[in-house]
Amino acid sequence: MTKRIVLSLAVGFLFLAGLLPLLLLLIQSVSEEGRLTFDAYRDLLFTKNQWILLGRSLVLAGLCALVSTVTGTTLGLILGKTDLPWRRTFTVLYALPLFVPPYIMAVSWFHILGREGLVRGLLGPTVAAVTSDWLLGLPGCVWILSSIFSPLVMLLTLAFIRGIPPRLEEAGRIVASWTGVLRHVTIPMILPAVMLSALLVFILTLGEFGVPHFLRYHVFPVEFFTQFAAFYDFRAATVMAMPLIGLTLMALAFERLCLRKKTYIIQSIGHGQRRLVIPLNRSRRVGILILVGTLSFMWTVLPLLTLLFESLSSSAYPRAWTLAGHSLMRSLVYSAIAATVLTMLGLLTGYLVHDRSFRFWMFLDSIILFLFALPGSVLGIGLILLWNRPVTQAVYASPMILLLGLVAKYAALTHRISVSTLEQIPASMEEAACMAGARWLRRFRQILIPLARPGLIVAWLTAFIFCMRDTELAMLVYPPGCDTLPVRTFTLMANGSSDLIAALCMIMVLGTLIPLGLLSLAMKGCWGGHVEYPISIRP
């Protein structure tokens, strides 16, 4: 009974935060002056140009998902399984682009590869013209978005690698080389994380408007932007979001198909257990180090260094702090609260899907991803239409409305990470507690939460990062006078001096990195407290 009440409350909260605003918009999209009409949908289906744009979006999202998944998984394996030096430093370096709103990275790359950029000074105008043409189009979009989303794949891979029991790899090493163990043990074990991250990158790229717009590569999101910006037509904008959501559901079905009939019962590493590390010989170590170092320089150091140099004027940081200090504090508080709510909610909905507690588990799973795929501006309008009423003024006029929006938008992250985490916990643990007479709440609190702790920390960190960088949704629902740092940076970018903008970006990176660093220090023991060292077992 308690289980049903708690899970129903979680579903109810999600319903209020995300589903109800969406339903309101969907109803509006099929009604005009009190009558049912599908005109807007018909117009969409019969316009050739929109299908072309949709195709371009699909190509961009597919390429980004492919590049990010291959690169992120490889990096995760290198940084999580080998004894490469400076692994932690590389992990942090690669993760940095994830902390910055994508359009800022695009601006930074424009300063490097544009016709007037760094390349012109170093290699001349002819090379700059070539790099600029390359940047302004599909290759530039794939390059920048992959550099931003690969860290997500890398971090999820790293988190899942930590959950692989050493005994499986040890057994594999008795009969096979490390290549064989990676192929037949490690990679299959982390496959749910790889598929999940590929799905997330696909959805994130599909809805991305800022980077393709800045790089003049027309994609489908430009359609609903046009409906908003030129026509102020909420109905058409909602309709325009539907194909993106359809593609998301197809990607979800593909993910389910790939993971069908596969079970991943993995035990968490206990205290005292040692994780196996692949020892690299000298030549491989140097080779991989050069490869990883070069990529991190190109993807992270170069664009962030450009921003850093741009920000190094005497007055930029004091001005940026005066203008945006309060916004940073607000961003930190809102994101911490939203990430905490999201982690709790994600664990409950993740449990519901994992346990199939309700018949509608598959619907819930789909609807959460549906909300993730929904453009932030569409969700924002839905929230305004639902909550901006005199009776709910206390919610709408406070940061609560932003919290509701963030929860609805990013529930997929914590929910899916929780599902994957719970899949790694053997059902026998909960069953044993049940046999011993422990009630559900106690089992949940004392068995599942402690075992899922590493996954929950990853979920919290992921949610925190995404809430910190959210611009599109926050832009529409932040209470007057209470903007967040990404919103303030975005609004100051228009005609603001470049050193000020660069300083704001650096403050944003540090503002995200410092609390994350402090948290990971405080939570160091939560990963299992094991000692890792390279071991070498010859078959």
Partner 1 sequence: MKREINIALFCVFLALAWTGCAKRDRPPVREVVVYASVDQVFSEPILRDFEKETGIKVRAVFDTEEAKSTGVMNRLIAEKGNPQADVFWANEPIRAEVLKQKGIADIYRSPQAEAIPEIYRDPEGYWTGFSARARVLVVNKQIQDPPTTIHAYTDPKWKGQGLIANPLFGTTTVHIAALFSKWGDEKAMAFMASMKTNAVGVSTSNGESADFVASGRYAFSLVDSDDAVSRMRQGKSIEMVYPDQGPDEPGCLIVPNAVVLIKGARHPDNARKLIDYLLSPETERKLAFADCAQIPLHSGVEIPKEMKALEAIKVMRIDYARVAETLQAIQPYLKEWVGL
User: Among the candidate windows 89-97, 145-153, 358-366, 493-501, which touches partner 1 by CB under 8 A?
Assistant: 493-501
Contact call for residue 262 and partner 1 (CB under 8 A): no
Binding mask 93-132 for partner 1 (x = CB under 8 A): ----------------------xx----------------
Q: How far is residue 10's CA from residue 2's CA, in Å, rounded to a whole number?
A: 12
Among 34, 36, 48, 230, binds partner 1 (CB under 8 A): 230
For the stretch 36-59, what's the b/e string if a residue is b when 16 or more beta carbons lie within 10 angstroms of its beta carbon?
eeeebeeebeeeeebeebbebbbe
3-state secondary structure of 508: helix
3-state secondary structure of 534: coil
Contact call for residue 336 and partner 1 (CB under 8 A): yes
CB of 513 to partner 1, least distance (A): 20
User: Among the candidate windows 60-68, 177-185, 380-388, 410-418, which touches partner 1 by CB under 8 A?
Assistant: 380-388
Residue 399 near residue 277 (C-beta atoms within 8 A): no
Contact call for residue 315 and partner 1 (CB under 8 A): no
Beta strands in 136-221 (DSSP E): none
> Nearest 5°: phi and psi at 360?
-90, 25
For the stretch 351-361, what's the b/e string if a residue is b when 16 or more beta carbons lie within 10 angstroms of its beta carbon?
bbbbeebeeee
Contact call for residue 442 and partner 1 (CB under 8 A): no
- For 10, 15, 487, the CA distances from 5, given in Å and listed in that order, are 9, 15, 38
CB of 438 to partner 1, least distance (A): 17
CB of 144 to partner 1, least distance (A): 16
* Rg, the chain, Cα only: 24
Among 1, 33, 35, 49, binds partner 1 (CB under 8 A): 49
- In the bound state with partner 1, the residue whose beta carbon lies nearer, of 49 and 314, is 49
Among 483, 503, 506, 528, binds partner 1 (CB under 8 A): 483
Contact call for residue 515 and partner 1 (CB under 8 A): no
Contact call for residue 134 and partner 1 (CB under 8 A): no
Residue 100 near residue 307 (C-beta atoms within 8 A): no
196: which 2 tokens?
């999940």
CB of 248 to partner 1, least distance (A): 23
CB of 462 to partner 1, least distance (A): 18
Contact call for residue 225 and partner 1 (CB under 8 A): yes
- In the bound state with partner 1, the residue whose beta carbon lies nearer, of 310 and 483, is 483
153: which 2 tokens?
């794949």
- In the bound state with partner 1, the residue whose beta carbon lies nearer, of 2 and 398, is 398
Among 31, 177, 294, 398, binds partner 1 (CB under 8 A): 398
- For 76, 143, 147, 151, 440, the CA distances from 99, given in Å and listed in that order, are 18, 17, 12, 10, 37
- In the bound state with partner 1, the residue whose beta carbon lies nearer, of 138 and 187, is 138
Among 226, 273, 366, 520, binds partner 1 (CB under 8 A): 226
Please provide the size of the chain in residues.
539
Binding mask 270-289 for partner 1 (x = CB under 8 A): --------------------
Q: How far is residue 423's CA from residue 406's CA, in Å, rounded to a whole number?
A: 26
Q: How far is residue 215's CA from residue 342's CA, in Å, rounded to a whole number?
A: 33
Instruction: Tell me which residue of 514, 97, 85, 513 sits closest to 305, measured CA to CA.
Output: 97
Q: How far is residue 91's CA from residue 75's CA, in Å, rounded to a whole number?
A: 9
- In the bound state with partner 1, the residue whose beta carbon lies nearer, of 201 and 347, is 347
Q: How big is the site for partner 1, counted in residues (CB under 8 A)?
A: 52
Contact call for residue 253 and partner 1 (CB under 8 A): no
382: which 2 tokens?
């839905």
Contact call for residue 208 and partner 1 (CB under 8 A): no
87: which 2 tokens?
């692994």
446: which 2 tokens?
């004392």
Contact call for residue 6 and partner 1 (CB under 8 A): no
Among 169, 208, 223, 430, binds partner 1 (CB under 8 A): 223
Q: How far is residue 250's CA from residue 258's CA, in Å, rounded to a whole number?
A: 12
Q: Which residues bind partner 1 (CB under 8 A)?
A: 49, 53, 115-116, 213-214, 216, 218, 222-223, 225-226, 228-232, 234, 330, 333-334, 336-337, 340, 377, 381, 384-385, 388-390, 393, 396-399, 475-476, 478-483, 488, 490-496
